[in-house]
Structure 1
Amino acid sequence: MDIQPTHPAGTFGAPSAPSAPSLSSTSTDFQTFLTLLTTQMRNQDPLKPMESTQFVEQLATFSSVEQQVEMNLKLDALTASLTAQDAGSLAAWLDRDVAIEGQARYSGEPIVFGRQADLPPSTRLVVRDGMGDVVHDGPFDGEGWSGRLASGLEARHGDYAFELRGPVADGDILIARPAVHSRVVEARADGDGMALILADGRKVAVADITSIRN
């Protein structure tokens, strides 16, 4: 747009641009547009004023940019609020004991299951390794798993799956998957949502948690 000064050169200068807040490029563009518009209005030739149509278009642009700045500010505030809430929800998991049904990591110490409902005397504990192979199948003692294999040797350290099964007429049936508690030492947000790191080294999804205790 043309700016035609009505005073002799050197008698005054264009007003200095107000300092733009470091919010976003949109905010900077808004400040620049506002400065140019006010400068043009102050220095237009009275004999050739700005056409009303052009002036309305520039005011419409001004309003549009202003709304965009306000929207960006609200979006930034909302993002900050959600981030703070996520951080708070992550912290709430720390040092809690959480349980996952049918899964645990053996590291040399006996694995103790959570409290079980009344089970028939014929209940068996079936333990599978990470490949899905059965490494133990025997009477359930009501407490957990000692870490001994069917051969009597100690199991390798690693992740195992547990089932409590009982006999039926044509075989056996799954009665329950016992829960094992472990303490949460870290909580993090990743691409799949919130994940918890347990004291035994496992990484589990919050959706897999079946119970929480202090």
Structure 2
Amino acid sequence: MPLDALSASGATTTSAGLNKSKASIAENFDTFLSILTTQLKNQNPLEPLDTNQFTQQLVQFTSVEQQLKTNEYLEALILANQSVGQTQATSFIGKTVTASGANSELSGGQAEWSYSLQADAPKAYISIRDQSGRTVFSEQTSLGAGENTYVWDGVTNDGTSAGDGTYSITIDARNEEGQYVPVSTQTTGVVDGVDFGSYEPILIVGGARVKMSSVNSVSAN
């Protein structure tokens, strides 16, 4: 779907939701005003409306009016922020991003993940799964502490070459005593497009979908 169409779709969805809420409040506001006006017109001249009670109703009246104004300002703020977010997201197209996550795209016989280990892991168990969750490759290896990169050549456990697509990695890192070593994974790739179908822009990196909020770095190719 074209970017302008996706942008319009996202904005329309947000605006429609806000307009629905605003219409509901406005309906309640009109009902309240009608009831108050009718009450004033039909009050007993010999027993007029209690001043304290009338004051309380006016306060309620003002509160509803302020709520309407607040919703209008909120709508304008959300739409403005959404526009800024969409503009920022489209600027990522064609650039290489690194984002938190376990997914990466296998293309040209190579898939790459960045990972960070808090300590050396001489016993690290790596599993790579396809989009259906099936383990296609696994191995035991040794990983060093710090920021590193793991590259998979696409060769599966049975010796065949996996097809291009999105794959996820799981790293179970252990020290010499077999204790778990905390590890975080990141994926790197070129942004091909942006999906504005949800509230937060989603970057299309190969076939993977990456939330813009999970992006840790951006670099020009």
Shorter-normalised TM range: 0.5 to 0.7
Q: Report the aligned-residue RMSD.
A: 4.8
Q: Counterpart of 2:74?
A: 78
Q: Counterpart of 2:129?
A: 129
Aligned equivalents of 2:170, 2:209: Cα separation in 1: 21
Q: Counterpart of 1:202?
A: 208
Q: Counterpart of 1:106?
A: 106
Q: Counterpart of 2:11?
A: none
Alpha-carbon shift at residue 155 of structure 1 (Å): 0.7
| 2:193 paired with 1:185 | yes
Q: Counterpart of 2:218?
A: 213
Aligned equivalents of 1:71, 1:60: Cα separation in 2: 17
Structure 1 gap segments, 5+ residues each? 1-21
Alpha-carbon shift at residue 174 of structure 1 (Å): 6.5
Alpha-carbon shift at residue 85 of structure 1 (Å): 2.4
In structure 2, the CA distance between the partners of 1:95 and 1:145, relative to structure 1 (3 Å rule), is farther
Whether the 8 Å contact between 1:196 and 1:205 is mirrored in structure 2 is: yes
| Structure ranking higher on relative contact order (CA contacts 8 Å, 6+ apart) | 2
Q: Counterpart of 1:24?
A: 26
Whether the 8 Å contact between 1:95 and 1:184 is mirrored in structure 2 is: no
Q: From the two aligned structures, give the one with the greater helix fraction.
A: 2
Alpha-carbon shift at residue 90 of structure 1 (Å): 4.9
- Within a 5 Å distance, the mapping from 1:154-173 to structure 2 comes to 154-162=161-169
Whether the 8 Å contact between 2:195 and 2:201 is mirrored in structure 1 is: yes
In structure 2, the CA distance between the partners of 1:167 and 1:149, relative to structure 1 (3 Å rule), is same
Aligned equivalents of 1:74, 1:159: Cα separation in 2: 44
The size of the alignment, in residue pairs, is 180
Alpha-carbon shift at residue 147 of structure 1 (Å): 1.5
Whether the 8 Å contact between 2:112 and 2:151 is mirrored in structure 1 is: yes
Aligned equivalents of 1:146, 1:63: Cα separation in 2: 70
